[in-house]
Structure 1
Amino acid sequence: MAVLVPIDGDGDGEGEGGRAKAVTDPAPAPAPAPMDMDGDRGALDVLAPAPMAMDLDRDRGRDRDGYGDGEALVASTRNGRGRGRGHLNDLPEDILAVILRRLLDTRAAARTSLLSRRWRHVWKWVSGLFLHHYQPHDSSIVRAALAAHAVHAVTNINKLYVVCLRSATPDAAASWIRVAAPLISGELAFCNRASVPFHMLFDEVFSDPIEERGALELPCFTRATKIALRLGFLGLSLPPSGVFAALRELRLSFVRFHGELTLDDTVMPFLEGLEIYSARGLASLTLRLKHLNWMNLSAVRGLLRLNAVVPRLKFLTVSCCFRSSTWLVAMAGVCIVAEELQVLKWLDWYCPRLIKFSQMPRLYVLSVSPFYPYGRHRQHTKFNPSCDRLLKTFSRIRCLEMLVFIEPHLGGVNPLMEGITRLPDIRFLHLQFSAHGHVYGASVLYMLTMCTGISNLKIGGDRYKDQDVCPPNCSCDQPPNWRDNKDISMRSLREVQMLNFRGKEHELDLLRVLVRVATGIRRIRITCHRSFAAWERLSAVIRSFARPETSVEVSQAPPSLQRQ
């Protein structure tokens, strides 16, 4: 084993000019797991079965007193007077606990108990536990770690993160969750079936049949502030009694419910955030939560009734919950009372007869379900009218966001752009395209004919890799004279922003049209996709047709913000 030992000076690195060099030290003989003087030897056997290769006290078998010289871990250092040293072993326990938490692996943190007697319980000072178990029927390693931490812990657990790579049984999950419930004063996160890719789990939302994996009853966490459960389609039910008095955020994903779920102020009196993502079996959801600030319901298959009285809700997203034909036949209705709502993202089917919103005078942003300007499938003719009905519900919105899909292979499909007949009175329009390499200029101009008073236009180009170029006379480029459009007057338009710009000629053609019809543009911002190599020269090209008073900014988005 390579360690650092002092050379020059007085032999311990404290002499004038003391320094350290690396030498090879024979590996120590395997040591047994330390005896547990407090009765939690079993936990250490499970968490730290492998002997450590480093003895922090350097006592080589001597009785450990926790005050060894520590040169094996930290070399001698020099201060302004030439003397002094920094020893990891000399740090206070709370600082050591912070260091161990950064390992994000409680098993590794527990192994430090073999370094010295002083380190025996340091891992139990760590306020965040990160645990794995691999056997579906056996979560004893998690229970043992929680029990051992509870014996000597100076601080409560403010984060518990448990991962099961395979499909844990309800009994195995419940056994450690019951132990954790009184210990957690912060966050609980549980990820079941972690080895299954995300897209495969998502496919199970809409698969028939699905394997029955049993149900888990969640105990009452009286002090937890956040609970995030990714259950891999284990069943879930709430306790029949008890109050989640400190809970502020609840996230449930890949969960299987059994009929109804009710969340109200008697159970979760201070809940501020709720997410239910990719769930099955939830037919009826009732919410009476006066402190709820945001809510996200996405891919909740089989939801037939939603009744939410959430007077302080400000952000609401509903996506892919009400699209199946089964729901349209059996639905019982949706009623949402949210007078303080500011952002509504309704990316779903909408019918004003069955879906009721309260008055929302503070509504600022509206996002609507995907729109198909060209279509060949029957579902497109169903979704487009739904989108149009929702737009007509609101007379005035500050910002409108629309996701527009253009199919990869259009053939001779007729345009469906006329499916949108009116837009609200808006100031900001954000169009995000999934165009698969097709032209989208005609679709943009059609939308602009219904909102000529906007001041800000944002166009998000395709984030994904282009498909094959569309054939000549493709439907996406109709009408063919859109590049010569002189009928639109955008006098209020001041800023145009284009994202994921790829340098295609049709993208530049759209910019030329916008500059021509909007004489008041003062700023053009282009963020290029990383596949566009000539982005640094693009600014000069745009300035060649933009007005002199228009500011042109061109940049390239970092790879982390783009997809191929």
Structure 2
Amino acid sequence: SARAAARTSVLSRRWRHVWADVPELILDGGGPDAPPSFLDVVDAALGAHAAPTVERLLIAVGDADADAITSDRAASWLRFAATRVAGTLSLLVPQGLGWWSSSLIPVELPVCGRAKRVTLQLRDAWRLQPPPPAAGVFMALTALTILFGRMEGSELTALVSTQCPCLRDLKLSLSLVHVSGVVSVHSDTLRSLQLCICNSTQVEVIAPRLEKLCVYDTFMGRISAPKLSELFWTGGNADGSHQFDVVSRRLRLLEIVGLRSITKSLLQQFDEVEEMKLFMSIPKGTEGYRIFLNQTNKLPMCKTLHVSILDFNHHGLAPTLLHLLKICNSTTKEVYFQLIPHDYQQEYSCPSSCPCRLPESQMVDVMTLTSLEEVIICSHSKSYGELEFVQKLCKCNATSLKKLVTVHDNERSRVHVESNEVTEKIRTLYPPNVKVEFYVI
């Protein structure tokens, strides 16, 4: 095969003149044709390459070599990249069987002055040590990704805040060496930032041009980003320990994922959101539903609302969806509900005293949804709560409603849809100008 021939030529002086000056080196040890001596092949290829400039260097260590790769070997590859790479550098090392270790192994990151994009996926026990400030800067670097591995908080701060003066895209998913570490990301050029930093007690972000921020796992910290337009927040509860100092109160996109309950302090930070996506699980019991009502009693005005509810049948579905529509009724035009049940056979598992079962939660005659034009409901199978919501929605004052769509991703629902008994009944509830559609995918 061509790949086999390429591997052979790496170690063959006879063929060295053919490939020694190629502008790209793609060394992938994860494929089915990877040689058993892949690490030696990489060493030989880098040692024999004669071109002064490499536009792209990709070294992907396969799982078979995960436990054989040493930090010294990886450091030697990085030293080659520092002197040759003028475009994209990617070093991908899998975790291996012994991925966790109490002792850290240092790996030095030299200054890659000409590299424009750098991606490093490291073993968790490797401690990445960036060059000291006096060694120079990553002058051409615009995109930096560091996955796994460990770093000192002060060294990480210096790397991203002072040694990468042209950085526009930064992705960090790693752990700090010491628990209670502090990290500061201060950049005048940064446009996109993804953060998942373990062992940190405080993270400070000061980025006047930042447009997109993704936060994985909640941190205590300060955010100053006056041009922020997209915020993605997932992980633990954003309990107010974060501080938005200079951030616009209008966003293009706000997405909150993986929270046990939607956090009031984060939602009330913004007045208007063009598109809002919420992924939530309402806690069981009366108190759990009261917490949900309290935390969602004020939502940003939005044009498009996506709500994914995990374990939705712990409470009454219709009152829950109607509550969300009522809170967003002034500006919302499109609503998408995704329902993810815990038990398909269980409905209303909460006590009769739960607010979702009280008569006032069922009242819809006085509910006005002035802007609502389209409602889409996606669930695994048809449920009583879904049918109840559809029936109550038609009683609301929703004069702008044009389309109602239900989508089931379960073959068992096909019988109900094709029978037309339920679907026709629902269609008769709505005026002719409202298009009612049913799909099974």
TM-score (norm 1): 0.64
Does residue 198 of structure 2 align to residue 292 of structure 1? Answer: no
Write the distance in 1 (CA, Å) between the matches of 2:95 and 2:16.
Answer: 32
Alignment partner for residue 92 of structure 2, among 191, 207, 214?
A: 191
Residues 386-535 of structure 1: matches in 2 within 5 Å? 387-406=263-282, 410=284, 415-416=289-290, 417-420=292-295, 421-435=297-311, 438=314, 440-453=317-330, 454-462=332-340, 466-467=342-343, 469-470=345-346, 473-475=349-351, 478-479=356-357, 485-517=364-396, 518-531=398-411, 533-534=413-414
Write the distance in 1 (CA, Å) between the matches of 2:110 and 2:44.
Answer: 19
Of Structure 1 and Structure 2, the greater strand share is in 2
Q: Is the 8 A contact 2:218 2:238 kept in 1?
A: no
Alignment partner for residue 222 of structure 2, among 301, 326, 335?
A: 335
Q: Aligned pair in 2 of structure 1 residues 480, 265: CA closer, same or farther (>3 Å)? A: closer
Q: CA deviation at 1:129?
A: 0.9
Q: CA deviation at 1:429?
A: 2.2
Q: Aligned pair in 2 of structure 1 residues 140, 406: CA closer, same or farther (>3 Å)? A: same
Write the distance in 2 (CA, Å) between the matches of 1:514 and 1:123.
Answer: 69
Write the distance in 2 (CA, Å) between the matches of 1:345 and 1:170.
Answer: 34
Q: Is the 8 A contact 1:113 1:121 kept in 2?
A: no
Alignment partner for residue 247 of structure 2, among 320, 341, 359?
A: 359
Q: Aligned pair in 2 of structure 1 residues 113, 312: CA closer, same or farther (>3 Å)? A: closer
Q: Aligned pair in 2 of structure 1 residues 529, 159: CA closer, same or farther (>3 Å)? A: farther
Aligned to 1:143: 43
Write the distance in 2 (CA, Å) between the matches of 1:126 and 1:359.
Answer: 43
Write the distance in 1 (CA, Å) between the matches of 2:380 and 2:248.
Answer: 36
- Higher relative contact order at CA 8 Å, sep ≥6: structure 1 or structure 2? 2
Write the distance in 1 (CA, Å) between the matches of 2:176 and 2:363.
Answer: 50
Q: CA RMSD in A?
A: 3.8
For the residue of structure 1 that corresponds to 2:152, the secondary structure is strand
Q: Is the 8 A contact 1:191 1:229 kept in 2?
A: yes
Q: Aligned pair in 2 of structure 1 residues 456, 303: CA closer, same or farther (>3 Å)? A: same
Write the distance in 1 (CA, Å) between the matches of 2:141 and 2:8.
Answer: 33
Q: Aligned pair in 2 of structure 1 residues 546, 113: CA closer, same or farther (>3 Å)? A: same
Write the distance in 1 (CA, Å) between the matches of 2:174 and 2:344.
Answer: 32
Write the distance in 2 (CA, Å) between the matches of 1:111 and 1:556.
Answer: 52
Residues 187-266 of structure 1: matches in 2 within 5 Å? 187-195=88-96, 210-233=101-124, 234-240=126-132, 241-260=135-154, 261-262=156-157, 263-264=159-160, 266=162
Alignment partner for residue 165 of structure 2, among 269, 273, 278?
A: 269
* Per-residue Cα deviation, 1:149-188 (whole angstroms, up to 9, x for no partner): x22x597242413215324332121122212322223322
* Per-residue Cα deviation, 1:315-334 (whole angstroms, up to 9, x for no partner): 11112133xxxxxxxxxx62
Ranges in structure 1 where 5+ consecutive residues have no aligned partner: 1-51, 53-99, 205-209, 323-332, 374-383, 558-564
Q: Is the 8 A contact 1:284 1:306 kept in 2?
A: yes
Write the distance in 2 (CA, Å) between the matches of 1:542 and 1:281.
Answer: 59
Q: When the two structures are aligned, how many residues end up with a matched partner?
A: 414
Q: Is the 8 A contact 1:132 1:142 kept in 2?
A: no
Write the distance in 1 (CA, Å) between the matches of 2:266 and 2:85.
Answer: 43
Residues 15-54 of structure 1: matches in 2 within 5 Å? none
Larger Rg: 1
For the residue of structure 2 that corresponds to 1:506, the secondary structure is helix
* Per-residue Cα deviation, 1:399-443 (whole angstroms, up to 9, x for no partner): 332221146xx4776523233232233333221212276453332
For the residue of structure 2 that corresponds to 1:256, the secondary structure is strand
Alignment partner for residue 435 of structure 2, among 536, 551, 555?
A: 551
For the residue of structure 2 that corresponds to 1:366, the secondary structure is strand
Q: Aligned pair in 2 of structure 1 residues 555, 479: CA closer, same or farther (>3 Å)? A: same
* Per-residue Cα deviation, 1:34-81 (whole angstroms, up to 9, x for no partner): xxxxxxxxxxxxxxxxxx8xxxxxxxxxxxxxxxxxxxxxxxxxxxxx
Query: 1:130 is aligned with what amino acid?
Result: L
Ranges in structure 2 where 5+ consecutive residues have no aligned partner: none
Query: 1:132 is aligned with what amino acid?
Result: G
Query: 2:433 is aligned with what amino acid?
Result: E
Q: Aligned pair in 2 of structure 1 residues 112, 291: CA closer, same or farther (>3 Å)? A: same
For the residue of structure 2 that corresponds to 1:110, the secondary structure is helix
